[in-house]
Amino acid sequence: MNGRVVSLQVIRGNHADPSFVDRVRAIPGEGLEGDWHRGRGARSVLLMHAGDVRDLGVRPGDLREQITVHLPGLMKLTPGTRLRIGPATLEITGECIGCTHIGEHVGVDDVEAFRQALQGRRGMLARVLEADGEPIQIGDSVEILPA
C-alpha cells in the first residue's frame, strides 16, 4: 500500500496557526525543521489521512498535523511501522488521541461531539528515524516499509 503527501504544515509555536509549506526538512531524532513539536521524541510528527480530514469537514492543518497524506489504512498501522516519506524514514509511535481543546481550536459548536468524531481518525504520531538532508515535498510518495 503506497500513498502520497498532499499537504505540509509547520506549526511555529504553541497555539499558532499552521504555516503551509511546499517542502520541509526532516531531522533525525528531532522532527521537522521550524516546527514547534520538534524534539518531542515519539510525538514529533503527526500524520493524517486526507480522507479523514475531508470526512471530518476540516482542512489540512486544522487538526495540527504536519503531514497530510493520501494513505488509506494509515490508522491501522501499528507502532513500529516504518514509512518512507520522500527522502525521510519515519516510525509510527502510536495513535494521537483527540484532546479536549481541539474542537475549540477548529471553532466547532459542540466540542465534545467533535472530539468523539475524532476517535480512531485523529492521526498517527511518528518520529523521524532517517533523512538524507533533502526536504519532504508535496507530492512525494509514501511507502510502508517491510518489517
- Specify whether the backbone of 133 is left (phi greater than 0), alpha (psi in -120 to 50) or beta: left
pLDDT single digits (tens) 123-138? 999 999 999 999 999 9
Instruction: Please tell me the predicted confidence (pLDDT) of residue 113.
Output: 87
Instruction: Please tell me the predicted confidence (pLDDT) of residue 135.
Output: 98
pLDDT single digits (tens) 13-70? 887 889 999 999 999 999 999 999 998 988 999 999 999 999 999 999 999 999 999 9
Query: Does 1 score more than 80 pLDDT?
Result: no
Supply 78's cell numbers: 501499528
Instruction: Please tell me the predicted confidence (pLDDT) of residue 115.
Output: 86
pLDDT single digits (tens) 78-106? 999 999 999 999 999 999 986 767 777 77
Helix, strand, coil shares, percent, the chain, to 5: 15, 35, 45
Split at pLDDT 50, 70, 90, the class of 7 is very high
CA distances from 85 to 36, 51, 56, 82, 118 (A): 20, 18, 24, 10, 24
Residue 117: in which H helix or E strand, if any?
A: helix 111-118
CB 129 within 8 A of CB 93: no
CB 24 within 8 A of CB 48: no
Instruction: Please tell me the predicted confidence (pLDDT) of residue 87.
Output: 97
What value does the mean pLDDT take over residues 106-131? 90
CA 48, 145, 125: angle at the middle one, nearest 5?
Answer: 30
Instruction: Please tell me the predicted confidence (pLDDT) of residue 134.
Output: 96
